[in-house]
Chain A
Amino acid sequence: MKRMISFAFALSLASALPGVAQAQSANAVAIDSNVMVERTTTDAAGRSQTMLEEPRVVVPGDKLVFVLNYRNNGVRAASDFVVTNPLPQAVAFDGTSDADASVSVDGGRSWGQLATLSIRNADGTSRPARAEDVTHIRWAFQQPIPAGRAGRLMFRGVVR
């Protein structure tokens, strides 16, 4: 009898969860991701011009700009707001102009400014982490996001 109750409880929880998520996404924070590629063209006079384009295809070495737009669509402030972007395996991190961002080089277990992180070598020694070692980037906001507030986060990457 006890076993049956717990089973029924689990069932009701599972069916309830999608409903909760739906209700929240309707009036909570939304986040939108955009990827642009930086293409440089040189005109006849030798002047180079850099354009940001929305790509469908890229080649190794292409410079990508990732733009994340967020908005608090809710009626209440969103606290403990953290945006996390795991880097696609084929993209090497190439910096961010946002000093608030922290990065991880170990799959998201530890975080910090790149200069403070290190990579453990196979022989037990360690070396300073490099941009291409970055696995995740995240922004942890100290202040709640007021209702209706929107913002934009950016970082750069290179197609490996």
Chain B
Amino acid sequence: MTSFSGSFAARHALLATSAIFIFSALPTIAHAAGTRAGTVISNTASATFDNGGGSTTVNSNTNTLTVDELIEIDVDWSDSADVVTTPGATSQPLKFQVTNNGNGVETYGLATVSTIGGDNYDPSVTQIVIDDGDGVYEPGQDTIYVPGSNDPVLNPDQSITVFVLSTTPGGLADGDRGGVQLTATSKTGTGAPGTSFAGAGEGGGNAVLGTSGGDDSDNGFYIVSSANVSIAKSATVLDPFGGTGVVPGSTITYTLVATTTGSGNLPNLVISDAVPTGTTYVPGSITLGGTAQSDANDADAGRFGSGTVTVNLGTVAGGQTRTITFKATVN
């Protein structure tokens, strides 16, 4: 039995708990797009009773509310880690997700800023590209974004992948980090959350800015990975008499130690050294890491031709050493 006093107490309990309800409700707004803009909510209660004439039902008045468009946008950098780049590299993609968390169709403009601070360098953004839906950057297949011309139009809950392509400046050090900020801005407008744009919502209602305020940004990062090689050359001499004099007939053993540094790779690292004039190369004397190499231009790494010793080391990661030796006799 609900009496007057009972409902009065209930009302007080209701108001006392309202603050808690509000806090718990906030995340709901950010997650799902929610009821589509323009939806009409109607509420009617009914009462059945018997006052002697049998069971009777009466309906209340009907309250109707219209759901306005809530503009809610989310931009999220979605690479799992910093994107590895090398000095001078072009069209390196950063991957972002742009999601319409609002409840109406909305058009968004995209823009980038690379002077975000807190990083080591500013990548030079060359293009924004809208993915064709597979989440993989494919030049020529994905669509190049042109502001004002092909601004993405997103349905509620729809998410698109956007790639930001940049050129990495030359002369950067290994481990340098550079960030780019991508911003998506509602074409309806931006402002403080709760700002209402009369008649601008889907279905002709108002458009109301949600917690994002009509725009959202996120930063994506590149990390420079480079490697360097240094070569130390030394020679030992064995003369025909068992000494170390450089006389005709002495054999000189040259040792080249290539040392790589840095976090990157050196692709197709080739070491070549011309046999000094006044000496003659000793055929079949090339070794790599202690293993003999043939002089022919064949499957193994070493070869000799045109008076030059050449060793193809392939791709060498930073932090390694390769030791090459060859011999020549003094004429």
* B27 (CB) vs chain A CBs: closest residue: A61
**A: which residues have CB within 8 A of B?**
21, 24-25, 28-35, 38, 40, 48, 50, 55-61, 63-66, 68, 70, 72, 74, 76-86, 88, 90-91, 94-95, 97-98, 100, 139, 141-143, 145, 150-154, 156, 158-160
Which of B17, B56, B205, B210 has the most CB atoms of chain A within a 10 A radius of its CB? B56
A159→B2 contact, CB < 8 A? no
**What residues on A are CB-neighbors of B62 within 8 Å?**
33
Given contacts A31-B45, A95-B21, A151-B2, 16 further A-B contacts (CB under 8 A): A29-B56, A32-B61, A59-B69, A59-B103, A70-B47, A72-B49, A74-B51, A78-B51, A79-B51, A86-B44, A90-B35, A90-B39, A91-B41, A94-B25, A152-B7, A160-B32
- A150 CA / B3 CA spacing, docked (Å): 8
Chain B interface main SS type: mixed
- A34 CA / B216 CA spacing, docked (Å): 37
Top 10 nearest A-B pairs (CB, nearest first) are A60-B34, A61-B29, A78-B49, A33-B60, A90-B35, A59-B70, A85-B45, A31-B60, A35-B63, A97-B13
Assuming the contacts A60-B103, A159-B35, asked whether A29 and B49 have C-beta atoms less than 8 A apart, the reply is yes
Contact size range, B: 35 or more
Identify 11 residue pairs between A and B in the complex whose beta-carbon atoms are under 8 Å apart, listed by A's number. Answer: A24-B56, A28-B56, A29-B56, A31-B45, A32-B60, A59-B69, A59-B210, A66-B45, A84-B45, A158-B28, A159-B41
- A68 CA / B90 CA spacing, docked (Å): 66
B22→A63 contact, CB < 8 A? yes
A33→B34 contact, CB < 8 A? no
- A127 CA / B52 CA spacing, docked (Å): 42
- A90 CA / B34 CA spacing, docked (Å): 8
Min Cβ gap B99→A in Å is: 15
- A28 CA / B49 CA spacing, docked (Å): 9
Assuming the contacts A35-B63, A57-B205, A60-B70, asked whether A65 and B14 have C-beta atoms less than 8 A apart, the reply is yes
- Does B291 sit at the interface, judged by CB under 8 A? no
A85→B43 contact, CB < 8 A? yes
**What residues on B are CB-neighbors of A77 within 8 Å?**
51
**What residues on B are CB-neighbors of A91 within 8 Å?**
41, 43
**What residues on A are CB-neighbors of B205 within 8 Å?**
57
B67→A60 contact, CB < 8 A? yes
Interface contact tally, CB-CB below 8 A: 177
- Does B81 sit at the interface, judged by CB under 8 A? no
- Does B80 sit at the interface, judged by CB under 8 A? no
Q: For window 186-223 of chain B, which residues contact chain A by CB distance below 8 Å?
A: 205-206, 208, 210
- A136 CA / B241 CA spacing, docked (Å): 109
**What residues on B are CB-neighbors of A160 within 8 Å?**
32, 34-35
* A155 (CB) vs chain B CBs: closest residue: B14
A159→B45 contact, CB < 8 A? no
Min Cβ gap B7→A in Å is: 5
Min Cβ gap A83→B in Å is: 5
A153→B65 contact, CB < 8 A? no
- Does B1 sit at the interface, judged by CB under 8 A? yes
* A69 (CB) vs chain B CBs: closest residue: B60
B58→A31 contact, CB < 8 A? yes
Min Cβ gap B35→A in Å is: 4
- A159 CA / B56 CA spacing, docked (Å): 31
- Does B141 sit at the interface, judged by CB under 8 A? no
B14→A33 contact, CB < 8 A? no
Find A145's partner among B7, B49, B103 (CB 8 Å cutoff). Answer: B49
Assuming the contacts A29-B49, A94-B21, A160-B35, asked whether A61 and B65 have C-beta atoms less than 8 A apart, the reply is no
- A142 CA / B59 CA spacing, docked (Å): 21
- A85 CA / B43 CA spacing, docked (Å): 8
- Does B242 sit at the interface, judged by CB under 8 A? no
- Does B55 sit at the interface, judged by CB under 8 A? yes
Which of A31, A35, A154, A158 has the most CB atoms of chain B within a 10 A radius of its CB? A31
**What residues on A are CB-neighbors of B26 within 8 Å?**
61
Find B48's partner among A21, A25, A80 (CB 8 Å cutoff). Answer: A80
- Does B10 sit at the interface, judged by CB under 8 A? yes
